[in-house]
Chain A
Amino acid sequence: MPCIIPVWIRHLAPVLWGAAALLAEATNNPGTHWAFEPLSQGEPPQPKAVGWARTVPDLWVLDALERAGIEPSPEADRIAWLRRVHFDLTGLPPTPEETLAFQRDSRPDATERVVESLLQSPAYGEHWGQQWLDVVRYADTHGFEVNTERPNAWPYRDYVIRAFNADTPYPDFIREQLAGDQFGRDAATGFLVTASVLLPGQIGADDISKRLARQDALDEIVVNTAQSFLGLSIGCARCHDHKFDPISSRDYYGMQAFFAGVEYGDRELKDPESQTRREDIRRWKERKAAVVVTLSRLEPLARPGTPTGNSPSGSMAARVAVKARMNSDRFAAVTTRRVRFTVLETNSLEPCIDELEVWDLESRNVALASLGTHVRSSGDSTVENRHELRFIHDGHYGNSHSWMSHEKGRGWVVLEFPEPRRIDRVSWARDREGEFSDRLATAYRIEVETNSGDWITVADASDRKPFEGRNPTADEWELPAAALAKLDPRSRQQTQTLLDERLRLERAIAGAVASQQAFAGIFRKPDRIHLLHRGDPEQPGPEVAPSVPEVLGTVRQPADAPEPERRHALAQWLTQPDQALIARVMVNRIWQGHFGTGLVDTPSDFGRTGSRPSHPGLLDRLAREFIANGGSAKHLHRLIVLSSTYRQSSSHRKAAAALDAEARLLWRYPPRRLGSEPIRDAMLAVAGELNRQRGGRGFDLFDQRGGLSGFKPVESFPANGLRRMIYAHKVRREPEAVFGAFDCPDAGQSTSRRRESTTPIQALNLWNSRFTLERSSALARRVRHEAGARPQNQVQRAFLLTLSRPATRAEEQEALEALRGQDLEVLCRALFNSNEFLFIP
């Protein structure tokens, strides 16, 4: 069965005939297909009404319209163009000030000035970067069942935004995403690993599962590369030769071999800033360790076997309750060779400890394996590279370097030193990185072995306050507030200074650690790649060396080529100056971004089953412009938004629509609904609340991540959540609660073109959500502040802010009518839901 099945065969014969013709073309002429041909060098056509044309694209558009017997539409009014170009280039509406200034600007180059300022605005990259992120299905989670956070994905998102803002030449943009580690652009290779991936613990322990998971992971890289840059879907060739495009299974596995050494994972960034940061982190960690030791001397001694009781005096004396992030047990110094930590009770499930530390009198952690200490346990739940017994004293913190007992609620660990040690403190935690707070030991016992072989208890939970299920935030401090209060003023002051310093250091370390890693792939010795029968890893055929699809080029690498050279060779090939297909695909994406539909309306399929271009000569001419200008996207934007084609009115014309209903010939500017991000961003901008902070970790759309009750949406966002939506922490497959319904891609598979659906769920979300109500209140506040108390002025200001125009007399009357006895919010909510607000004019 071929991979292409005709849609809804109503008239079987013609469709089958079409499929047969495609197959015949594919068989007879494996190489000839318009998109693979060199760019045509033809001169522009000479339409009759040539005076209409402003920029090069107009000649082709007008020529095609004249041939079809359709007149172009008249020019849109200035404000419609202004609003259009603002949304198109930046995803935000013009401010009233920008609107008025443009209306007053009678200089001949007023439009050019607007376009230049928009292209220089950082908002440009924030809007156009999103289109690229759609194509590469970027998300901040790993996908699949666990869908856990991918905390260091965002450097790639920021790279894409910056690349658009810097108008990075397209060949560099390609090269950096495939091999940026070799060009000083480390974060760019995030491109390779944007897909969903199974984490080590999710893949079966059996070899068959592992091989399949690896194939799936490599497949995603091949598909992403071919789709994004070449506009070809070659994924079918994983299982069989492509039926319509001249892509064989050998071609497919040849492509896979370029990526055979790429693993999904975090990589340390190597740029100079990251080097400096690493040095800082080392210093801060040293200092923090010293501070913690000083503070620990003030901790109360543990008094095992002394229940705190319920009396107030008892609880005054009690040590603080156990915490998931950090616990410390201090006791009178004792010499021993063995320390036993026994869990007697947990808050849930099998106990888990990320690191057990034992301190000697020189404040040295003598538990470390590196100091020769051995470890035994009652039994382990082992998950490779996550929960293993050896991780309990390896010096690494966090859930993914932890020990888990095999029994619910209990378990023990014995540390045995190579020689007797004199110790006075044990520290331990469930997860010092603060992510997990289940599996916490709420009752436990710490014992040391005496010379005679008896075990004596040095600390337990009996003198701690009872665990109440809540974790104090980031609090590692073992000293109860009551004890702190008892210190003399000077000691208290000193202690407080140390506490503050510790908190500062922690924040600095956490911030710096987060910014030096990027989920940008790990590069290692490449796997051997075999041609797989029907894509089945259990049916390997001959080994395949890296090579590009035969129909497209001849670049090959030896089967034993080292990893970096493979990606480098592929990048070199993709960025050769004569790559017509690659230029066509990208200029088409840019055209689509302005008109909603590309010249080729199948933007990621330039193969034989894809559409032919509506204006083939124009597509090739734009591709030549693109190449001649070094792959500058901004050059194309200028050609397009300043053209007469783009300046046309969007008004519907019955006669023209009868000939070309979808306006593929561009007899008008095709109006379209704003996408999910521009709606949200525009509401915030209009309400005066948009937080323009750029880059960094995304803000949360959900209060709670995964687990038993799923993702609980944030209803009311803090200031950080009022940033542009591209800066949201994108949870794969989990639509944002209000705007997800507006056809926002879920980052499961690539989205080369957003659909534009209209549903009652969209209406419910935009009408009733707290987000809309809060923005309505904010807009009402802004309007009252800017327009004063007079209702007429308020109505006018609200219209100007949301729709970039004053209200007509009739509209003003209706609005005043509605506001009789009602708050201004009523008008604001209606405006945010109005068609005029939601459509690009």
Chain B
Amino acid sequence: MNPGAESLSFQGHGLLDRRGFLGRSATALGSVALTHLLGREGLLAAQPDVSAVLADLAHPNRPRPPHFSPKARNVIVIFCAGAVSQLETWDYKPELHRWNDKPMPGGPAVTFQGPAGNLARPQYAFRPRGQTGKMVSDLIPHLAELTDDIAFVHSLTSKSNTHGPAENFLSTGFALDGFPSIGSWIGYALGTDNQDLPAFVSLLDPRGVPQNGSNNWGSGFLPATFQGTTWSAQNPVRHLSAPGITRDADQAARRLLGQLNQRHLEEHPGDEKLAARIASYELAARMQLSVPEISDLSTEPAHILRAYGAEDTGNPIKAGFARNCILARRLVERGVRFVQLFNGAYASGGELNWDGHNKLKEQYDRHAGILDQPAAALIRDLRQRGLLENTLVVWCTEFGRMPFFQKGAQGRDHNPDGFTSWMTGAGIRKGVSHGVTDELGRAAVKDIHPLYDFNATVLHLLGLDHERLTFEHNGVQRRLTNVEGHVIREILA
């Protein structure tokens, strides 16, 4: 993209990327106010690097240059909680038809939840899709139409077969509690383009919080400012206004606070922390205006609402998820760096998320009806608006499911040894399927990628080297990828 860029200094890279981006994005991001971009440029002139963030916690969201030229500016992660079965969705295993209802030769006797039953064929019909002829199941017909643009990784592995630790592992790179989530790492590294909004927003499923709750958007030992702000079409950001306080009373108090702080600042010249706190109240006041504006979907045209399924009165959960999808687009449009979009809630015997242990088909029919149309509409909408040029869309789940049913049940147990997630959009090679599981779909056998690699790839697309994005905590330079991780180059454009 930038001839001769290899010979540039690090700062040179940053500068070049920024100008290039501004040029490209002036038309692409038509809805972003020009002032934001100009403001950004002004802020960028200071060239703060990540180590400077800690010294300047007053302005934690200032944009910071990446390590190298990025392919993506923003990320939307569609996080399907509960572990989606690869065998019912993206990983076609015709051999399972032949082996249906037979014991798996050499298979495990006991898995996570108990004794293993017989192998079970895919519960949905698969058929070729698009130009590539990629085999995808009928469970998700809308998403299936997009496969020509998608890069699948069929050979992911997790370190844990338990939802909590495995969601930790997917979101933070560690199975244990307490490590920073990928969104907070990215906010810490890059800041964000719109200073009126958080860098990292987590949109919660209408059915409730995901299995591992706030650990998926926590900041761990990074400064608290980098944690995800939870939000959804149903539950707006907290504390945006003071209940029962009149506008006059609010303004009188605000004016008085300004006077108190100004006098105090004059008596304590030179202390940046004081000025930063004053600035944070000004930012908060701007958020009080910008957040309700973004949440107001009444400005969306009818055909958009329809395309997402946001007015599907027969399926209020789907309509709720669809509204979150629209919200995700609006956030990215306004420069929010990282948006997590949850599909699926808490452990519930598979009733409210993708944890299909017992009645997989019955439950998946319902879950797919919520996910499919809205998520597909989101990707189409992003593409149509040119946002997919700069936005990476990730679809992921914490692990996969076994090729056999559980004994005495009509569902599959946890399988961390080979499962599928995918990416599309900025920087992604279109229509590739990378990595292979064995013919029964029990485990990855070729191009095996622990989730470290998947996360390293997301960082890479944002122009970040996962080995250089570090934070010192109790004597260890911590990373999102611990001491592992290789970028999956085969899926890059």
Contact = CB atoms under 8 A, between A and B. Distances in A.
A796 to B, nearest CB: 15
A761 interface: yes
A763 B477 contact: no
Given A1-B483, A652-B271, A749-B179, 16 more contacts: A10-B10, A145-B162, A198-B162, A206-B110, A236-B476, A604-B474, A609-B477, A732-B177, A749-B178, A749-B220, A757-B57, A761-B229, A763-B281, A767-B284, A829-B257, A830-B260
B256 A826 contact: yes
Nearest to B209: A710
B178 A734 contact: no
B244 interface: yes
B175 to A, nearest CB: 7
Contacts, number: 300
Give the most central of B215, B346, B348: most A CB within 10 Å: B215
B242 interface: yes
Interface of A: 1-10, 137, 143-147, 196, 198, 202-206, 209, 212, 216, 220, 227, 232-233, 235-236, 239, 245, 349, 602, 604-605, 607, 609-610, 650-654, 657, 671-673, 706-711, 732-735, 737-738, 740-744, 746-752, 755-765, 767-770, 773, 808, 810-811, 814-815, 818-819, 821-823, 825-827, 829-831, 833-836, 838-839
Contacts of B263: 808, 810-811
A833 B257 CA distance: 7
Interface in B263-307: 263-265, 268-271, 273-274, 276-281, 283-284, 286-288
Contact of A5 (B253, B270, B468): B468
Nearest to B109: A206
Given A4-B477, A765-B238, A743 B470 contact: no
A740 B221 CA distance: 13
Contacts of B476: 3-4, 233, 235-236, 605, 609
B132 interface: no
B215 A748 contact: yes
A605 B474 contact: yes
Interface residues of B, number: 105
Contacts of B479: 5
A145 B470 CA distance: 26
Contacts of B273: 671-673, 756, 758, 839
A773 B264 contact: no
Given A8-B49, A710-B209, A733-B214, A769 B239 contact: yes
A760 B284 contact: yes
Interface string B155-174: 00000111111011000000
Contact of B50 (A7, A709, A755): A7
B470 A204 contact: no
A605 B260 CA distance: 40
B87 to A, nearest CB: 20
Contacts of B470: 5-8
A233 B278 contact: no
Interface of B: 10, 49-51, 54, 57-58, 60, 108, 110-114, 160-165, 167-168, 175-179, 198, 204, 207-209, 211-215, 218, 220-221, 223-225, 227, 229, 237-245, 248-249, 252-257, 259-261, 263-265, 268-271, 273-274, 276-281, 283-284, 286-288, 345-349, 352, 414, 467-468, 470-477, 479, 483-484
A3 B483 contact: yes
Contacts of A145: 162-165, 167, 211-213, 347
A758 B58 contact: yes
Contacts of B281: 760, 763, 767, 833
Given A198-B165, A763-B284, A733 B178 contact: yes
Given A654-B270, A834-B264, A748 B240 contact: no
7 contacts: A6-B477, A227-B474, A673-B273, A709-B208, A764-B240, A810-B263, A818-B253
B248 A233 contact: no
8 A-B pairs with the lowest CB-CB distances in the bound complex, closest first: A748-B178, A605-B475, A145-B164, A652-B270, A749-B178, A763-B284, A144-B164, A708-B208
A94 B212 CA distance: 42
Contacts of A232: 475
A144 B179 CA distance: 12
Contact of A759 (B50, B60, B114): B60
Contacts of B165: 144-145, 198, 216
Given A5-B470, A8-B50, A708-B208, A768 B475 contact: no
Contacts of B253: 818, 826-827, 829-830
A823 B250 CA distance: 11
Contact of A836 (B178, B212, B220, B260): B260
Nearest to B178: A748
A561 B260 CA distance: 65
Contact of B352 (A654, A708, A757, A811): A708
A807 B273 CA distance: 23
A245 B54 CA distance: 26
A7 B280 contact: no
B60 A757 contact: yes
B162 A203 contact: yes
Nearest to B259: A814
B245 A773 contact: yes
A758 B277 contact: yes
B19 to A, nearest CB: 21
B14 to A, nearest CB: 11
